[in-house]
Amino acid sequence: MELISLIYALVALAAAFYLFVKWRYTYWSSRNVVALEPTFFYGNLRTRKGKYITLVDAVVNAYKAAKAKGERYAGVYLFITPQFIPLDREIIRSILFTHFDHFLNRGIHVNEKRDPLSGNLFNISDNKWRVLRTKLTPAFTTGKMKMMFDTVLECTTGLEEILKDCTNANGPVDIKDVMGRFTTDVIGSVAFGLEFNSMKNGNCQLRQYGKYTFENNWRKKTHLFLAATFPTWFVNIVNEMGFSPTKKEIETYFLDMVQSTVDYREKNNVFRRDALHLLIQLKNIGKVLEDDEAALKGDHKNVSGTITMNELAAQAFIFFIAGFETSATTMTFALLELALNPDVQEKLREEIKQTLKKNDNKLTYESVVEMEYLEKVVCETMRKHPPFHRLARLCNKDFKVPNSDLVIKSQMQVLIPVLAIHNDHEYYPNPEKFDPERFSKESIARRPPLTYFPFGDGPRNCLALRFGKLQAKLGLCTVVSNYNITLNEKTKLPIEYELNTVITVKDDVWLNLERLEK
């Protein structure tokens, strides 16, 4: 009898769950919002034919379906959780700007006790984000970019050496791997003040941990499912039990590395022009000084507004993670497009050549900023292949969508469809074509606003966007000025995206590099 009772109970529980999910999937239809038909439990992450798809495809498909019907917004189901997708630019403006207070946070679960590295500027919420954002903003001014320029430029020497070795071997170059090693050295140097020599040793620990952080592994998939399906209190309980998104050995590695480096600098009064120096200022005196060496002098005890060592490490960690993969991916896509568009490549090379000629064959911060065509190439690369396929915002209080009866409920996730907008024929005719002139001053002026989001937009945009573009430009200058680039037959076309934390190329990108005569 007990076994039969247990079976009845399980059947009843399964039936209740089934009915709950089916009811849940009426959320958008009951509100007259366009949404693709969900598959049981997986929502729009699986087609009716049983094929699994990524969130990238789900969002793009929902965007296209709503756009075809002339709708201003759409809905999508991430597992059993409904999420809102705005198409109309005025709605997007409300979310990112006008009613920013309703959509202040990204909705990422943070547990600084169990996972100290999660307490970074990208993740944190509410007033804590406001305070830290204000403190960090002075660290990314034009003056600070100039300060860090030479540190980034030094890393191009290693890039030149590895490219020379590759071409001497008379084989194609896996440019995806090379660019990843370059940005590992750049960000490792700027964020942690250490030389990792990833260009010579592609298996260095920092690079391996960086790659692991971006893998779409079971740990990330599990946390994505938990965050999309269960309330915050339940996810926090799971984290408290020790199952955090960051692998323990990675957490230990980064915390120990930052602690030892900071200790060494403070004990020996070491001054280095990098981001870690600016974070040390925030730890010691609570602000970034214009006089970069002043933080190493005088008595700074009992000052207010400082950050803790763990908070410092968390900011260094996100600076590395964000700058390492996004810039490497941007350079990879740019070089692939230049290989496919030799006319664009030659025009860019000529601009770089003329710029170097005017500056005694040296790159300066000012000369890199002045290269207009290089700026267009980078912008078009991030238009066609944006690092993030969507911007995520969490509604923190009920919000009535302008000029409609729809209310976005508190705690609902909003997904601004970056990739879909960047490839919308209305804004970018023939979007598959790589055309840097889309970013001429005239083209930008003709295009409606809020149609380009490579670094986000509004008060919560990417703080280090100028640094990311700077290192990408230096990497491109180094390759294009020295080599003619063509596509190798080992590269699979058309390329496929792989959704990790950012959009990357699924397979390797093999290019032929032919050394140019000087």
Give me the half-sphere count of Cα atoms (radius 13 Å) on the Cβ side of residue 400.
4
The secondary structure of residue 294, as a DSSP letter, is G
Residue list, annotated binding site for heme: 462
Amino acid letter for position 78? L
What secondary structure does DSSP assign to 45-99, as a single string?
Answer: TB-TTS-B--HHHHHHHHHHHHHHTT-SEEEEEETTEEEEEE-SHHHHHIIIIIT
| The amino acid at 287 | K
Candidates 87, 79, 41; CA nearest to 62 is: 87
Binding residues: 462
Token digits for 46? 């699986």
**Residue 69 backbone phi and psi in degrees, to 5:** -95, 5
| CA torsion, ordered 250, 256, 261, 263, to nearest 10 deg | 160
Q: What is the rounded CA–CA span in Å between residue 198 and residue 188? A: 9
Helices of type H across 241-308: 248-268, 275-285
**How far is CA 425 from each of CA 64, 75, 420, 443, rounded to the nearest angstrom?**
11, 21, 10, 14
Q: Is 316 left (phi over 0), alpha (psi -120 to 50) or beta?
A: alpha
Q: Are 503 and 174 in contact (CB under 8 A)?
A: no
Sheet (strand 173-174) strand order: 173-174, 510-515, 483-487
- How many Cα atoms sit within 13 Å of 94 on the Cβ side? 15
CA angle (130, 131, 133) in 5-degree steps:
65
Secondary structure letter of residue 397 according to DSSP: S
